[in-house]
Amino acid sequence: MLPHYWPTLVTGDPLIYGADASIGLVSIAIVFVLTYYKKWGWLWREWLTTVDHKKIGILYLIAALLMLFRGGVDALLMRTQLSRPNLHFLAADHYDQIFTTHGTIMILFVAMPLIFAMFNIVVPLQIGARDVAYPYLNAISFWMFFFGALLLNISFVIGGSPDAGWVSYAPLTENQFDHGPGENFYIMALQITGIGSMATGINFIITILRMRAPGMTLMRMPLFTWSALAASIVVIYAFPALTVALGLLLIDRVAGAHFFSMDHGGNPMMYANLFWIWGHPEVYIVILPAFGVLNEVFPAFSGKRIFGYSTMVASFMAITILSFLLWAHHFFTMGAGPGVNAFFALASMAIGIPTGVKVFNWMFTMYRGRVRMPMPMRWAVGFIPNFVVGGATGVMLATAPGDYQYHNSYFLIAHFHQVLIGGTIYGMFAGMYFWWPKMFGFLLEERIGRLAFWLWNVGFYVTFFPQYLLGLMGMTRRIYTYPAGMGWSSLNLLSTVGAVIMGLGFLFIVWNILYSVMHRSELRDVTGDPWNARSLEWSLPSPAPHYNFAVIPTITRRDEWWEIKKYGRTEDYRPQPGEIQDIHMPNNSGRPFLFSVAFFVVGLGFVFEWYAVVILGFAGVLAIMLHRSQEVDDGHQIPADEIRHEEIALGRL
Amino acid sequence: MAVTKEDAWGVQARSQTTGSTHDENELRVAGFWVFLATDMILFACLFATYIVLRGNTDGGPGPRQLFDVTGFTEETFILLTSSFTCGLATHVMHEGRRRALVLWLSVTALLGLLFVGLEVSEFVRDVSVSATISRSGFLSGFFTLVGTHGCHVSLGILWMGSILFQVMRQGITPAIARKLTIVGLYWHFLDVVWVFLFTVVYLMGVM
């Protein structure tokens, strides 16, 4: 059985040859460095086989930043192409591929891993647990995400990229209109990473519901954990719809079925429905944790408890439910009729209410507080005006009759970048700066961080405000060039200048990280609580020991750690030697990595429609599952003495 | 900050420190319930798609021409019986009767196999009269919905086989009891899905 498509290198464009060469060089450099410093064993033992939630969180963060670079380069290529009228820097088909991978990567391989990074790093520490409910499954989640991302990225050099937009609408993506492996790459990459996301959702729901320290009732939970619970609930109910949409599209493409085709009784609208039944909740999946981060950052840097804890919880739950009732606002123009459009328009506006509650609560938290402005707070404060404008333009788009004008224009582009960058990315950067010391034991340097923030923030407004105007002037999305004399030229150039400034902002963030790594001894966090913050993770040393809590604390109120500090009881809060017992921890395992490699093989098989390879991959998946099933004990005991030694070394005993 | 015995969550925390397997097993069963919720959504989307495409036969064979009342009634009784024997397997497991457990588990897997065999022969018969997945929207929906259920059942059979092997080697340990509970949940869930398939696809198809 031979492949339907041959896995050939993409040819014909100097940009792609350049990418080929740089991918080759970077790979050789990585192999060389690992071999020269004899780090292969370290990589395998410490990272590839780890089941420790803190390390998995770090892996997610690194992968997300790398993917942000890739997606950002795509964005700059597009902005370069659009900077002047009639440019031919990119050909039309190449431009199609780039906007497709840009959107897909930014949503699924940047926003998703960023929120999962925060879940992993923060949630078990905040609720007083030693790991997540299923550490082994957690490793599978990460590696499925990783190999999904890898599969999408190799499409750039082998076989050809998908080119039908990040939504991949049928019937355009049916085989007869979009022949070739490109769309198969998109489908399989998303399926593989989707399995990982669903597993993460299940994992964190059970972790949060079942693994909390004694005394931590639901209404005493930190609000970031609440946001993780809300987002996880949305994940488990939304992702199966994506699995079905993509699965049926794949069956259409490889088996000639007629789910979404134009002929033989297919129904293309069904794809749009299934896709957005996932797609709309998805944007709430990535924004809820950003809200959660802000709920931690504002009280910490205002020296006050959060304003309106219960309304925050209520609004999380309201958003969780409402997020499932909005999907059709993505296609008002498809003619579902006034009744349907009115329902979805009203539901879309209604979700602005719980979101508005949050914005007011954050501002009331700062009101009359002792506000400090280190880096996490800067990103959090920057979030507010961004999100308010994004929300207001969202309500404009939700007005169904108005949407007939805005639909698929640059107004829409500006709107969703405003909420996804100004919302999710700002929130996640706030979280990254906030919890960086907890991850690595040192802070990120302030001065470069501020420069990065201002470059990014100014660049953001310069990029996207012109796009609102361009949209109102009639410029539609996904056009690769435009004639002179439309009146769009100067605004497009301005937008491109903004994108370059944002690109610089990203480089400053990278520099910020590298500089801080090099100067980590000066930036070290010796207290474990560098921000004078409120929740349980700050009662631990930075970075937290691998077992997290030598003794699981008993919680008596909200903001436990803050109250303990207020009453000067921090010394009592340290573990007593007599209380320390043996700790049972999960073993590392290479199987999650190999399992995901096997799924990657399945993915490649489907991409090139090479079924021998598909069967081989599935055999690998099954073999690893059976091997896991035969395992009797997947944990080990850390003796109490060893923990006492470690706590003494950390200066806590 | 000692863990008090009365505290509901203290039980959880203690199990983490002592590594008692009981609670870890319970945790995994809880997670499987959540997984079933995701699987339920998956089937709901497939059902919705089938219902949308049900009338789109494109001049080809429709439900009345294809569905064989005796055939799908047999499949239904076989799968419902297998759910009953699966329940018996769980029951004898709680009584610690290993040989009865092996028996009922084998019967369940064999009934499952028979069910899958009947379904495959139904598909083969359909294809032999040119009613293939690429014939019409209706047939695409039908084969995918029923086939997805069939794949779930097939996976369940492999899963039961693996557990059967472990029961014969290790006896009824707490870990194996947990695995049996989970595979039982899965099997009963598939039975419930079949009841909907029976109603929505087959009965409403021939009526």
- Kindly report, residue by residue over B94-139, the tens digit of the pLDDT: 999 999 999 999 999 999 999 999 999 999 999 999 999 999 999 9
Chain A environment of B166 (Cβ under 8 Å): 629-630
Among B4, B38, B53, the strongest candidate for a mutation testing the A interface, having the largest count of A CBs within 10 A, is B38
The structure tokens listed for A348 are 């879309």
Tell me whether residues B31 and A202 touch, CB distance under 8 A.
yes
Compute CA distances A265 → B53, B56, B129, whole Å: 7, 5, 19
Residues 6+ apart with CB under 8 A from A61: A113, A114, A117, A121, A432, A439
DSSP code, position A162: -
Q: Which of A521, A541, A370, A372 is nearest to A445 (CA)?
A: A521
Cβ atoms of B89 and B101 within 8 Å: the answer is: yes
In degrees rounded to 5, what are phi and psi of residue A158? Answer: -120, 120
Residues 6+ apart with CB under 8 A from B149: B43, B190, B193, B194, B197
Assess if residue B23 is contained within a domain.
Answer: no
Q: Name the residue facing B140 among A258, A583, A635 (closest C-beta).
A: A258
- Kindly report, residue by residue over A337-385, the tens digit of the pLDDT: 899 999 999 999 999 999 999 999 999 999 999 999 999 999 999 999 9
Using the predicted structure, report yes or no on whether residue A458 has a pLDDT greater than 60.
yes
- Kindly report, residue by residue over B85-94, the tens digit of the pLDDT: 999 999 999 9
Q: Which of A418, A424, A421, A427 is nearest to A377 (CA)?
A: A427
Assess if residue B154 is contained within a domain.
Answer: yes
Tell me whether residues B34 and A130 touch, CB distance under 8 A.
no
Tell me whether residues B27 and A259 touch, CB distance under 8 A.
no
The structure tokens listed for A269 are 């609208």
> pTM for the whole thing?
0.95
Chain A environment of B171 (Cβ under 8 Å): none
Neighbouring C-beta atoms of residue B104, cutoff 10 Å: 21
Strands A635-638 and A583-586: antiparallel
3-state SS of A22-33 is HHHHHHHHHHHH
Tell me whether residues B39 and A270 touch, CB distance under 8 A.
no
- Closest Cα in chain A to B42: A240
Tell me whether residues B30 and A206 touch, CB distance under 8 A.
yes
Counted across chains A and B, CB pairs separated by less than 8 A come out at 164
Neighbouring C-beta atoms of residue B28, cutoff 10 Å: 18
| Number of domains present in the structure of chain B | 1
Tell me whether residues A255 and B133 touch, CB distance under 8 A.
yes
Assess if residue B194 is contained within a domain.
Answer: yes
Using the predicted structure, report yes or no on whether residue A319 has a pLDDT greater than 70.
yes
3-state SS of A254-291 is HHCCCCCCCCCCCCHHHHHHHHHHHHHHHHHHHHHHHH
Instruction: Give the model's confidence band at A638: pLDDT under 50 very low, under 70 low, under 90 confident, else very high.
Output: very high
Using the predicted structure, report yes or no on whether residue A581 has a pLDDT greater than 80.
yes
Using the predicted structure, report yes or no on whether residue A480 has a pLDDT greater than 80.
yes
Q: Which of A7, A198, A40 is nearest to A601 (CA)?
A: A7
Tell me whether residues A552 and B16 touch, CB distance under 8 A.
yes
Tell me whether residues B138 and A265 touch, CB distance under 8 A.
yes
Separation CA B36–CA B44 (nearest Å): 12
Neighbouring C-beta atoms of residue A499, cutoff 10 Å: 23
Instruction: Give the model's confidence band at A542: pLDDT under 50 very low, under 70 low, under 90 confident, else very high.
Output: very high
Partner A contacted by B168 (CB < 8 A): no
Shortest distance between the Cα of B81 and any Cα of chain A, in A, equals: 27
Residue B34, domain CATH:
1.20.120.80
Residues 6+ apart with CB under 8 A from A157: A9, A10, A16, A19, A20, A23
Burial label for A495, CB within 10 Å (0-12, 13-18, 19+), is buried
Chain B environment of A236 (Cβ under 8 Å): 34, 37-38, 41
Chain A environment of B155 (Cβ under 8 Å): none
Tell me whether residues B45 and A266 touch, CB distance under 8 A.
no
User: Which residues 41-60 of B are in CB contact (within 8 Å) with A?
Assistant: 41-42, 44-46, 49, 52-53, 56-58
Assess if residue B4 is contained within a domain.
Answer: no
- Closest Cα in chain B to A218: B9
Share above pLDDT 90 across residues of chain A, in percent, rounded to a whole number: 89
The label of the residue with tokens 């049972």 reads: A584
Chain B environment of A203 (Cβ under 8 Å): 31
Separation CA A294–CA A381 (nearest Å): 9
Chain A environment of B56 (Cβ under 8 Å): 258, 264-267
Separation CA A299–CA B156 (nearest Å): 50
Q: Is the Cα torsion angle A267, A273, A275, A278 positive or negative in sign?
A: negative
Burial label for A222, CB within 10 Å (0-12, 13-18, 19+), is buried
Chain A environment of B58 (Cβ under 8 Å): 258, 263-265
Q: Given 3.30.420.130, 1.20.210.10, 3.40.50.720, 3.40.50.2300, which CATH number is that of A280-289+305-536?
A: 1.20.210.10
Cα atoms found within 13 Å of the Cα of residue A329, Cβ hemisphere only: 29
Partner A contacted by B29 (CB < 8 A): no
Assess if residue B8 is contained within a domain.
Answer: no
Q: Average pLDDT of B14-36?
A: 72
Instruction: Give the model's confidence band at A651: pLDDT under 50 very low, under 70 low, under 90 confident, else very high.
Output: confident
Q: Which of A146, A57, A167, A147 is nearest to A102 (CA)?
A: A167
Shortest distance between the Cα of A637 and any Cα of chain B, in A, equals: 8
Shortest distance between the Cα of B24 and any Cα of chain A, in A, equals: 9
Compute CA distances A423 → A325, A380, A412, B183, whole Å: 21, 9, 15, 42
Among A134, A197, A243, A264, the strongest candidate for a mutation testing the B interface, having the largest count of B CBs within 10 A, is A264
Q: Name the residue facing A206 among B7, B34, B170 (closest C-beta).
A: B34
- Reading phi first (left if > 0) and then psi (alpha if -120 to 50, else beta), residue A635 is in beta
The label of the residue with tokens 């199966």 reads: A240
Q: Name the residue facing B38 among A209, A211, A240 (closest C-beta).
A: A240
So what's the pLDDT on residue A19? Answer: 79
3-state SS of A501-569 is HHHHHHHHHHHHHHHHHHCCCCCECCCCCCCCCCCHHHHCCCCCCCCCCCCCCCCCCCCHHHHHHHCCC
Tell me whether residues A256 and B28 touch, CB distance under 8 A.
no
DSSP code, position B138: H
Q: Average pLDDT of A51-76?
A: 96
Chain B environment of A259 (Cβ under 8 Å): 49, 53, 137, 140-141, 144
Partner A contacted by B31 (CB < 8 A): yes
Q: Average pLDDT of A158-177?
A: 93
Cβ atoms of B132 and A259 within 8 Å: the answer is: no
Question: Can you give the residue range of the structural domain that contains B143?
Answer: 30-54+77-206
Using the predicted structure, report yes or no on whether residue A244 has a pLDDT greater than 90.
yes
So what's the pLDDT on residue A190? Answer: 97
The structure tokens listed for A401 are 């009759």
Q: Average pLDDT of A638-650?
A: 93
Using the predicted structure, report yes or no on whether residue B8 has a pLDDT greater than 80.
no
